[in-house]
Amino acid sequence: MRREIRPSRDNRDAKTGRAPNGKPYESVWDFPRPPMIESVEWRIRVRHADVAIVDAPRCLRVLETSQPPAYYVEPEFVDRTLFMGSDRTTSCEWKGVADYVDVYAGSSVVRQGAWTYQNPTDRFASLSGCWAFYAQRFDECRVDDEQVTSNEGQFYGGWVTANVTGPFKGAPGTLHW
């Protein structure tokens, strides 16, 4: 019987130097667990059906082992008039309870496309009221000028940029990682 090899810091495909987007390569297997928050001065944009939802000059990234970064944007940079509450909540052992919203852009509705932690745990207090978006559900999600690729699957909301290397948790067969 063949034993499945689980990705780790020891068997990943590490890259060095700078990616095509000018940022240094970083492997999700070097991200910490428990996760950490990093403030970055990178422009974040989210658009859907030709409607601007987010245009932020900076954001917070949550970095966690095995997952591409999730990007959180301060509420003043988000057009929350496009939001309608959803019944969905999820619980994260580190961050607390997330509340989801449907996003109405033009004649399109993105169901449960964004989430926030209104009352996060103390360690993640800086995320309070900030918004994150599922790249796989929107037409355009950008970090600086780069169109991101979404984290595979429907549960995790990480954004993959040219400098972030995996493999990533979220694809079929990876939830046990």
Residue 157, domain member (yes or no): yes
CA distances from 53 to 3, 93, 97, 106 (A): 45, 29, 23, 11
User: What are 114-130's pLDDT values in tens digits?
Assistant: 999 999 999 999 999 99
> Where residue 54 sits, what CATH number does that domain have?
2.170.150
Residue 17, domain member (yes or no): no
Read off the pLDDT band of 169 (50, 70, 90).
Answer: confident
d(C-alpha 103, C-alpha 80), whole Å: 9
Residue 53, domain member (yes or no): yes
Residue 34, domain member (yes or no): yes
Is the model's pLDDT at 12 over the cut of 90? no
- pTM, to two decimals: 0.90
User: What are 57-110's pLDDT values in tens digits?
Assistant: 999 999 999 999 999 999 999 999 999 999 999 999 999 999 999 999 999 999
Domain encompassing residue 67: 26-79+125-165
Strands 83-92 and 26-27: unpaired
Question: Which of 128, 46, 120 has its CA nearest to residue 82?
Answer: 46
Number of domains into which the chain is organized: 1
